[in-house]
Structures are given as structure tokens and as C-alpha cells.
Structure 1
Amino acid sequence: MIGIIAAIDEEIDFFIKNTEIIETSNDNNVIFYYLKKENRHIILAKSGAGKVNASMTVTKMIDKYKPEIIINRGIAGGLETVEVGNFVTGNKMVYYDVNMSSHRSNHQHGKVRGLPLEFTSDSKLVANFYNFCNENKITSLVGIIATGDYFVSNSTYLDNISREISNILAVDMESAAIAQVCYLHNVPFLSVRAISDIITTSYKNEEFTLNIKNACCKLAEQILGYICTI
């Protein structure tokens, strides 16, 4: 069984409309959809935005359904090195809003005490999805996704993040939290994001609003196709 977690309605609608729904269940306001596509069985959950919602949802999914792998998919803000509509596969996920350093300790920015600085996606899943996108002529980049509880739309704020964490391709609000839970439960994990907006000095909120639906559908279609190959 494959687990899929997304944050908002726009990110799950395509799956619901293009699969067979076997069952739905509600676990304390987390709705799980048991889906089937060809010979693949899928558990889909809408987590809601943010690290706490994401962590709670993936924990429930692992405890209740024990998926063999978990894919976190959704949208993200991109840096100027990517373009709207590109996919970013996170081979590494980091927190940009965690800072446990003080005059008594010397922890790297983003590192939770006792845990890795970076949480990694399963290398085989990353490679397979990258190859799948290439075969379908979809631009898919592999790199670092930075996660925090802030909707980043301000280039100055993004610059501050980039100074602490180098080589970021995208920022979101869930990936690292889900990756951390999967790391602790030893569940293979993959995070893929469609870029809905580019965060620059000329950023306009309309960009996100205009691109969100198309980005969500485009990524969902490819994820569903990919799932049917594994």
C-alpha cells in the first residue's frame, strides 16, 4: 500500500476524481481515502497546512495503515533557479525555522537536538521519479526543500533563509515534518513539489492564486502515473 499526503483540497482533488474510491474514514478530522488505481492500493490523506498538521497526519497514517512508502506531494514557492510548473523532488528536507543554538550549545541552524540536520528521501524513489519525469518530458529538479510554518512570499525573508541554508530549490510548510516522522518510523519517503510561484522582489500574491490549480493537477497526474509503475 502506498501512502500519499497533501495539505489542501486542490492537491487531492485529482486523485479522488481519477481513482476508484474503496472507502473513506475520519480519524479526528483527518480524512483518509482508500483508493485503487489499476492494481495499486493507495491511502490518501489531506493534512492541512503546517508542520503540526502534517506530523499528526503522517503518524496516524503509519499507525493505522502501515504503508510501504509515503509520498508527500503538493505545491511550493521556488527560488529564481527554478520556473513555475517545474517539479522539485526533495532529496533532502531541512527546517528553516528551527534554531536551538545558544551560548551554551552550538547546534546548526535547522537542526533539532538528537536528529539529523537533513532528512533524506529514499534514493531509489528519487531516482525512479526523476527518470519517470524525463521519459514524460517533464522538467524535474532534484535538490533541497526547506520547511517552516511561514508562507514565504517575501524575498528578503527568503534571502535570510538562504543565508542559513545553501542550495535551496523550494520552500514549503510540510515536507521536513513528514520526512522526520518517516525517518523515526523507518518508512521510505519521497517529497515532490510543483512550483506555483517564484519568490522575487517583484513577487505578487496573484501569481500563487493563478498557478495553484494547474500546478496541483499537473503534479497529481504525474504522481498517479508514477505510482502505477512501482
Structure 2
Amino acid sequence: LGRLDLQEVAIYHLGTGVRNEAQFKKVLTDLCPSFVINSGFAGAIRTLLEPGDFVVAENFSSPELLNRLETGRIFEARGNFASVSTVADPKTKMRLRSDRDILALDMESARVASVCRQHSIPFITARMISDRYDERIPGVFLRQRIERMKDLWEAIAFASRTVVLRRRLADRLVALVREIKPEYEQKR
């Protein structure tokens, strides 16, 4: 719990795949937030998305929040997200791209959206692209062994990029909170 400018904000770390849904529900009940921003990283499905692009999930966001945000002002793109239970490789991403009109994928947004709907709390899913449609997450981040020197270099490059992207994500989230909060508070 803290402040951004004069606005009270709370950050709750859900973990990969929403590890503790019951605790998240308790936090929502205890804090009674005006709205929830579900954020983190997502894998790109569309070919034009690059790591560092900030995108919004239309299917995992409340229309009353989503409709007020201009895509070009904060987000590089908006569209539907797919929910997956494990980190997707390029073949899975290609299959999802050919099956449906999917922008990106992640492991948490569907569950967060469901919980927010159950609690009647407006929400928006805004995520930063971590990996391109044709890129795989290095195996070391998926608890796989490093078998070749190339694996190590790929892991170092990906980790270095992620450090930079985390800061960029934080900056975009600050801009998003500033965009939503004043208008939303006036309407409640």
C-alpha cells in the first residue's frame, strides 16, 4: 500500500499462473479497490509485436475502463489475449495465431478477470510483451538444464532484456494509473 501522487495504490504480486487465488480474493475484499490493473508480461502472438510493446487485453478488461483509453496514447496495441497453463513455444504461438484473432498470451489474466467479475470490481489487463511470436523463452527460466554454451548466452540476453523491460513496464503502469484514476474517481 502506498501513494502515487495523491492517489492511494496497492500492489499485489500474484505470481506466475495466479498461485494463490484465495489470498487475492481476500485482498480484494479487505481493500475494496476502485479498480484493478492486472499487469506483468505476455508473449506476442501477432507478428508486429516486439518485446517492450505495452498491450491491453480487450477480453480480460472491463468495458467501462477499456473504452476510455486511447490505444495510441498508452498502448501499442489492443486485442484479445489467450490464456495458457504453461509457457508457450513458437509452435504453440503459431497455432494460436492461426486458430483465432489473438494479440498475445499469458497465464494469469483469465483468472484475474474472473475473480474481479465475481467481486464486481472494474479491471483492466495491461501487459508488456516479453517475447516475440517466433521466440522461445530460454529453458533455464523453465527449470531446464543448460546443455550448451548457446543456452547460457540466450539466457543472459533474455534476462538482460527483461531487466530493462521491467523498468519500462513500471513507467507505463504509472502513466496508466494517472490516466484512469482521476476520471474514474469522478464517475464513481
- What TM-score, normalized to structure 1? 0.63
Q: Could you tell me the percent identity over the aligned residues?
A: 25
Greater helix proportion: 2
CA contact (8 A) 2:83 2:107 kept: yes
CA contact (8 A) 1:51 1:148 kept: no
Q: Which runs of 5 or more structure 2 residues have no equivalent in the other structure?
A: 139-153, 182-188
Q: 1:163: how far off? A: 4.6
Q: 1:228: how far off? A: 2.7
Aligned to 2:50: 83
Structure 1 residues 150 and 203: CA distance shift in structure 2, 3 A: closer
String of CA shifts for 1:197-217, please: whole Å, max 9, x gaps: 1131x6462364232222221
Aligned to 1:221: 171
Number of positions where the alignment pairs a residue of Structure 1 with one of Structure 2: 162
One of 69, 78, 103 as aligned partner of 1:142: 78
Distance (Å, rounded) in 2 between the aligned partners of 1:89 and 1:124: 14
Q: 1:146: how far off? A: 1.2
CA contact (8 A) 2:94 2:133 kept: no
Distance (Å, rounded) in 2 between the aligned partners of 1:140 and 1:127: 15
- What TM-score, normalized to structure 2? 0.76
One of 36, 44, 48 as aligned partner of 1:70: 36
Q: Which runs of 5 or more structure 1 residues have no equivalent in the other structure?
A: 1-33, 94-120
Aligned to 2:91: 156
Q: 1:139: how far off? A: 4.8
> For the aligned residues, what is the CA RMSD?
2.2
Aligned to 2:5: 38
Matched letter for residue 85 of structure 2: D
String of CA shifts for 1:61-97, please: whole Å, max 9, x gaps: 211111110001111111223122111100114xxxx
Greater strand proportion: 1
Matched letter for residue 73 of structure 1: S
